[in-house]
Amino acid sequence: MRKPLSLRMQLLLRLTLPLTFVVILDTAVSYYVALHYSNVAYDRWLLDSVRSLAQEVKAQRDGVSFDLPPTAVEMFRWDDMDKTFFKVESTRVGFLAGDSAVPNPPDLALLKTEPYYFDSEVQGTKVRVVSMLMAPTATSEEVLVEVAETVNKRYSMINDILLAVVVPQLLLVLVTGFHIWTGINRGLRPLHNLTREIAQRSPRDLTPIHDALVPLEVLSLTHTINNLLNRLASAMVAQQRFIENAAHQLRTPLAGLKVQAERALRIDDLPAMRPALTSIKSSADRVAHLSSQLLVLARSENAEGHRLLQPVNLQVLAKECCIEWVPRALEKDIELDFDAPQAPIPVAGDATLLKEMLNNLLDNAVRYGKPDGRITVQLLSGVRPALIVEDDGQGIPSAELDKVFERFYRIPGSQGDGCGLGLSIVKEIADLHAARVGLSSAGVGQGLRVEVVF
């Protein structure tokens, strides 16, 4: 996997790359602007030189002549930075004076109206040339006068201009980069402190993170972590309470089991031993029931959300369950009705857990229902399939409706030896299936209706 770029590097790149690009662009533009202005300035000097040479071209009776004393030529050529060349040429007789190496303009027609400037080379050195065509009066011939000059002065001027423009800009980029670097270091320090604080914590320490010193942008992160820690803390408290309750619930029947076993051991004849053995069996039943309830609860709690849910046909599942419960219902002369549409009722679910849910509802209905009564298991299809279990027993007083979902809660005086986990299991499994559990009782003695809507 690609290593993520550090925030520091990202910011640095995002700011300095465009800045550097702008500097490069600006340098290129400045170069052409400087070149243009140095040409404008030095071309004017060159033109002056051409004009003063042109004044030395004299019309004679037999043609034109050009006569410049050597001292004047020396004066003309003198320059401490550049070399100057000139050439005077007649269209009729050709070369008259100067340096024959100075190149002619590409086309004489170009200088009919005004002087012509161009870049060329003399003796392998770059030069700027200005050419002028003059027609002295009294002759029919034209004279080309040219001055060429190497470009050292021009480049030196361009360099000066570029230095003045680019150096401050480069400095700006460097200073910006440096400030980003140090600024981010300073800005990230609280995050490093936060990391250290979290790393040094003991796993049991779920107190909120101290977030007074973190930057505003990180505050929402610390709030989220603190929220999570809060929820973890309450989950741990609930877990702890649950373990204590479970231990207590297990200890009582196990202690009973031990006492009854010791009692049985002291008795010699079998008939006298029977009451103790009966107690042992009921204690063992209780422990077995409790541990099975605890295991189902643990399973439904640890099922990983919606990922394990498969399409389940609720109709078949409920029917099978009801058939299994018929013998237990008959023991109490209870009539068990199953009322469901013929068509499959598909829900996304965990079949084993859904069965456990219905088992617990039927267990309650049989256990707390009226002897000789009737239990109805009803299924509703549609966009929101529903499972309804209704009995005609004592029902649950409305004040207790909320409490019965608490783990290990039993309504005082409840018959049988349940452990108060059945409805918590139902709730847990319903939550896992994003289903809603509703309890309703028409009144005391009117039975209980449990509705699970998917």
One symbol per residue from 55 to 94: x for binding ligand ATP (CB under 6 A), - otherwise; what is it? Answer: ----------------------------------------
Contact flags string 290-309 toward ligand ATP, x per CB under 6 A: ---x----------------
Site string for ligand ATP, 322-361 (x = CB under 6 A): --------------------------------------x-
CB of 301 to ligand ATP, least distance (A): 15
Using CA atoms, how far residue 296 sits from 136, 271, 274, in Å, is 120, 38, 33
Q: Which amino acid is at 210?
A: H
Retrieve residue 363's tokens: 């267990």
Contact pattern for Mg ion over residues 197 through 236, marking x by CB under 5 A: ----------------------------------------
Among 150, 364, 394, 441, binds Mg ion (CB under 5 A): 364
The two tokens of residue 68 are 């410049």
The only residue of 54, 336, 387, 419 in contact with ligand ATP, by rule CB under 6 A? 419
Kindly state whether residue 418 participates in binding Mg ion, applying the rule CB under 5 A.
yes
The piece of 115-123, 173-181, 306-314, 389-397 that touches ligand ATP (CB under 6 A) is 389-397
CB-side exposure of 282: number of CA atoms within 13 Å? 11
Distances (CA, A) of 182 to 13, 193, 352: 15, 17, 60
Q: Write out the two tokens for 169.
A: 């800009």
Q: Which of 404, 432, 437, 452 binds ligand ATP (CB under 6 A)?
A: 404
Q: Which among ligand ATP, Mg ion, none contacts residue 419 (Cβ within 5 to 8 A by kind)?
A: ligand ATP
Neighbour-count burial for 382-402, b at 16+ CB within 10 Å, e otherwise? eeebbbbbbbbbbbbeeeeee
**Per rule CB under 5 A, count of chain residues that contact Mg ion:** 3
Q: Could you tell me which stretch among 147-155, 193-201, 243-251, 413-421 binds Mg ion (CB under 5 A)? A: 413-421
Q: Which of 136, 194, 420, 433 binds ligand ATP (CB under 6 A)?
A: 420
Contact residues for 218 (Cβ-Cβ < 8 A; gap 6+): 190, 191, 194, 211
- Nearest-approach distance from CB 371 to ligand ATP, in angstroms: 13
Buried b or exposed e, range 188-223, using 16+ CB within 10 angstroms: bebbeebeeeeeeeeeeebeeeebeebeeebeeebe
DSSP sequence for 292-351: HHHHHHHHHHHS-GGGG-EEEEHHHHHHHHHHHHHHHHHHTT-EEEEE--SS--EEEE-H
411 is a contact residue toward ligand ATP (CB under 6 A): yes
Q: Which is nearer to Mg ion, 338 or 405 (CB)?
A: 405
DSSP state of 209: P
Secondary structure (3-state) at 57: strand
Q: Is residue 422 close enough to count as binding Mg ion by CB under 5 A? A: yes
Of the candidates 362, 395, 433, 435, which one interacts with ligand ATP according to CB under 6 A?
A: 395
Tell which one of 68, 364, 379, 386 touches ligand ATP (CB under 6 A): 364
Residue 421 touches which member of ligand ATP, Mg ion, none, C-beta under 5-8 Å by kind: ligand ATP
In whole angstroms, what is the distance from residue 363 CA to residue 324 CA? 11
Q: Report the first-to-last Cα separation within the chain, whole angstroms.
A: 41
SS3 137: coil
Interacting residue with ligand ATP among 49, 104, 359, 414 (CB under 6 A): 414
Q: In the bound complex, what is the minimum distance in angstroms from residue 285's beta carbon to ligand ATP?
A: 11
- CA dist 79 and 102 (Å) reads 18
Evaluate the CA torsion angle 180, 182, 185, 190 in order and state its sign.
negative
The DSSP code sequence of 378-396 is EEE-SSS-EEEEE--S---
Tell me if 293 contacts Mg ion by CB under 5 A. Answer: no
Q: Which is nearer to ligand ATP, 86 or 368 (CB)?
A: 368
β pairing state of 346-349 and 335-339: unpaired
Q: To the nearest whole angstrom, how small is the minimum distance from the Cβ of residue 14 to ligand ATP?
A: 60
Asked if residue 115 binds ligand ATP (CB under 6 A), the reply is: no
From the list 135-143, 214-222, 245-253, 391-399, the region that binds ligand ATP by CB under 6 A is 391-399
Q: Pick from 365, 386, 387, 452: which binds ligand ATP (CB under 6 A)?
A: 365
Whether the CA torsion 244, 249, 250, 254 is positive or negative: it is positive
* 448 touching ligand ATP, by CB under 6 A: yes
Query: What is the SS3 assignment for 215?
Result: coil
Residues that bind Mg ion (CB under 5 A): 364, 418, 422
Q: Which residues bind ligand ATP (CB under 6 A)?
A: 293, 360, 363-365, 368, 391, 393-396, 404, 410-411, 414, 418-424, 448
